């Protein structure tokens, strides 16, 4: 039996019960309404039951098997790989293999070379024989696509650690780059925070070039046994790629003449930089990849496994493991409790849960306790800005993010807390910090200000995905919505953000989604923000967005978008199998635009109700979250719950906040 919104069991939320009065509606509309009421009740009960006693929610964060493979390779490198971990991780990796022998980076996606290589190596560690049918299929596919030589740089770094690839055939990443001043191109703060946290420890690894004895050969993954590491031709010198490839050759030459004292000092500086950014729980930035490389770097710099920094780091890595009932072990790239909790709170209140419900107050208490009140790396570009904001993870004081801060403020504003002054102060700090993090063009990035340099992406080393953090429509929209709710819709800084958003609208009426898939996510973020700021549903930008959403609605009534839209927008924008989360985003936009009584909305509501499971949840194997567009995709397991519930709640109860018209656009 699960607790419901009034603290009892099995009772309909008070607002939902009141909304069940369908007088004045047509029989068809009344049927949809009753269907939505029932779906909201069941979804609310399910979501409330998922809350941790401390007040937070957290769904699994599923990515791809490179997380699992690199976790095993790290443990093999350090000499701490145990049989139980190896067996459980291999069980998960085998379960993710596709019939053609490959591994993909998202559900239903194509086989990906680097991912398949790393998964193959992980299974070799687990004792799977190269001539086993599933392994032979994988190695044949790898060879057909050029073998290890065509893999991304990061994959070849892992292989170089065991002598399966030559360090000399990898791009150079000298630790001296940490001395570049902040105004200099390619200084470390020109990289996005996730890339920065990874690159600094990799400068140590690149300088040290360690090799551990390989537990087995990998000849079957090379296409040329006599010369397994063939050099690649350079791009023309008149291109950016050609210029940076030749710059890499210069840097390689520097290695042979590097002043020993300068190299030693740079390595010590990098080591200090890494240690200073270790969080209280031992992690780095709350995400797994920087933690993995930081542990390797510190070990190479003389930190033994019993050193407190190393012990804490290794313990933090264990917390990324999700153990499944079948005995399999999956590694999360990071954990999302702050993000999940604020979205869950928004969904529950919008669905009709009383604002002072004990579970919502507990969630608010937990979020208030997670506020970050000390400077982090963002202060390099904003040294005078007082701190105030939230990160994504349990422990990540160095890198609060603008998106979480906006959404937490929106969630806290919905809850009737017993200490409203404390809430006001926290939201006030969040507003001040987010305003201070606005980029020059009027938009907001996720972590940094004006992180738009074109140079980091050009480095031969950076072929693993997005390495800069420019403003995006989805983050900017969430900030604009938060500012509008706080009464700042007419503030010049908000106006600049709105102008930037209007300038980013695609010709078809959609917006690009940086942190969610993709145009449906961007559009589902921007339209509610514009209407919260007072834009009428008749505004041309909103009408174009509504028209686009209507044209991409699936025949079954839902919405979906495949990750391939990041590579081929013409074919895949707004196109894909219907999913609960993406249908929720589309409905949130349409409802904000005043389309509640449209047939498109009714069909979307009907699809959500029809696909809801008996326990009140939705099934969603598709990946609808984004780490790096196309290169790194995420299945947030709570998205399938919070966004449908938010949409259904707004269908029943309307938008959560009263809106004031935006004078310049009133009437369209």
What residues act catalytically?
A: 403
Residues 6+ apart with CB under 8 A from 653: 15, 19, 350, 351, 352
CA-based nearest residue to 169, from 155, 186, 181: 155
CA distance 487 to 415: 17
Question: DSSP letter string over 275-306?
Answer: HHTB-TTS-BTTBHHHHHHHHHHHHHTT--TT
Can you tell me the distance from the alpha carbon of 530 to that of 497, in angstroms, rounded to the nearest whole number? 10
Q: What angle do CA 663, 666, 668 make, to 5 degrees?
A: 140
List strand residue ranges (DSSP E) for 563-667, in order.
625-628, 632-636
Contact (CB, 8 A) for 655 and 531: yes
Nearest by Cα to 113 from 69, 148, 62: 148
The kind and range of the H/E element at 113 are: helix 113-125
- What's the rounded Cα separation, in Å, for the pair 609 and 587? 13
Residues 6+ away with beta carbon under 8 Å from 84: none
Cα-Cα end-to-end distance for the chain: 50
Give the rounded distance of the alpha carbon of 129 from its chain centre: 35
Tokens matching residue 470: 């420019």
CA distance 225 to 148: 12
Which two structure tokens, joined as six digits, stand for 225? Answer: 């046994």
CB 611 within 8 A of CB 648: no
In degrees and rounded to multiples of 5, residue 69 shows phi and psi of -65, -45
- Within 8 A by CB and 6+ apart from 214, the residues are 162, 163, 164
Degrees (nearest 5) of the Cα angle 648, 35, 600? 60
Adjacency order of strands within the sheet including 61-62: 61-62, 632-636, 625-628
Angstrom distance (rounded) from CA 574 to CA 506: 12
**Strand partners of residue 401:** 390
């Amino acid at each position: 039996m699960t607790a419901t919104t009034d603290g009892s069991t099995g009772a309909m939320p008070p607002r939902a019960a009141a909304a069940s009065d369908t007088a004045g509606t047509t029989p068809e509309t009344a049927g949809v309404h009753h269907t939505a009421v029932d779906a909201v009740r069941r979804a609310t009960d399910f979501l409330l039951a998922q809350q941790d006693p401390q007040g937070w929610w957290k769904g699994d964060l599923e990515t791809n098997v490179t997380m699992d493979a690199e976790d095993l390779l790290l443990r093999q490198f350090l000499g701490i790989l145990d049989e139980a971990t190896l067996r459980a991780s291999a069980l998960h990796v085998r379960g993710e293999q596709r019939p053609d022998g490959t591994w993909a980076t998202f559900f239903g996606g194509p086989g990906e070379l680097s991912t398949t290589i790393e998964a193959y190596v992980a299974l070799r560690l687990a004792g799977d024989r190269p001539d086993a049918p599933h392994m032979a299929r994988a190695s044949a596919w790898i060879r057909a696509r050029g073998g290890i030589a065509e893999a991304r740089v990061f994959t070849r770094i892992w292989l170089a650690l065991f002598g399966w690839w030559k360090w000399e055939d990898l791009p150079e990443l000298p630790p001296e780059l940490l001395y570049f001043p902040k105004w200099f191109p390619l200084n470390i703060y020109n990289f996005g925070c996730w890339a920065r946290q990874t690159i600094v420890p990799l400068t140590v690894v690149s300088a040290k070039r360690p090799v551990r004895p390989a537990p087995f050969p990998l000849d079957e993954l090379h296409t040329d046994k006599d010369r397994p590491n063939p050099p690649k031709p350079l791009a023309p010198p008149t291109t950016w790629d050609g210029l940076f490839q030749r710059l890499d050759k210069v840097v390689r030459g520097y290695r042979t003449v590097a002043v020993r004292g300068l190299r030693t000092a740079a390595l010590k500086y990098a080591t200090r930089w890494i240690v200073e950014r270790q969080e209280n729980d031992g992690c780095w930035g709350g995400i797994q990849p920087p933690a993995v490389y930081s542990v390797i770097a510190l070990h190479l710099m003389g930190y033994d496994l019993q050193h407190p920094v190393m012990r804490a780091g290794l313990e933090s890595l264990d917390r990324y493991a999700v153990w499944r009932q079948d005995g399999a072990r999956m590694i999360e790239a990071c954990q999302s409790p702050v993000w999940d909790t604020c979205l869950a709170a928004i969904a529950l209140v919008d669905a009709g849960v009383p604002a002072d419900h004990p579970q919502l107050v507990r969630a608010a208490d937990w979020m208030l306790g997670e506020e970050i009140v000390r400077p982090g790396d963002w202060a390099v570009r904003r040294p005078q800005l007082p701190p105030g904001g939230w990160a994504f993870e349990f422990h990540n004081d160095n890198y609060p993010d603008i998106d979480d801060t906006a959404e937490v403020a929106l969630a806290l504003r919905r809850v009737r807390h017993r200490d409203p002054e404390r809430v006001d102060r926290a939201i006030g700090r969040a507003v001040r910090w987010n305003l201070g993090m606005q980029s020059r063009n009027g938009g907001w990035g996720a972590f940094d200000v004006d992180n738009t340099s074109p140079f980091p992406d050009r480095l031969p080393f950076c072929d693993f995905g997005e390495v800069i953090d420019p403003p995006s429509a989805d983050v900017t929209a969430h900030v604009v919505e938060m500012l509008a709710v706080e009464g700042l819709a007419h503030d010049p800084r908000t106006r600049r953000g709105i102008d930037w958003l209007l300038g980013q609208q695609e010709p078809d009426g959609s917006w690009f989604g940086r942190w969610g898939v993709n145009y449906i996510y961007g559009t589902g973020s921007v339209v509610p923000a514009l209407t919260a700021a007072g834009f009428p549903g008749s505004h041309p930008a909103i009408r174009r967005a509504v028209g686009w959403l209507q044209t991409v609605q699936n025949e079954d009534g839902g919405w979906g978008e495949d990750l391939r839209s990041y590579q081929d927008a013409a074919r895949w924008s707004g196109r894909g199998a219907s999913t609960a989360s993406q249908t929720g985003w589309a409905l949130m936009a349409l409802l904000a635009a005043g389309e509640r009584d449209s047939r498109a909305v009714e069909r979307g509501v009907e699809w959500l109700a029809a696909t809801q499971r008996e326990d009140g949840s939705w099934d969603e194997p598709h990946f609808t979250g984004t780490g790096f567009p196309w290169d790194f995709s995420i299945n947030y397991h709570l998205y399938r719950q919070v966004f449908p519930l938010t949409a259904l709640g707004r269908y029943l109860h309307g938008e959560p906040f009263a809106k004031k018209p935006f004078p310049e656009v009133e009437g369209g």
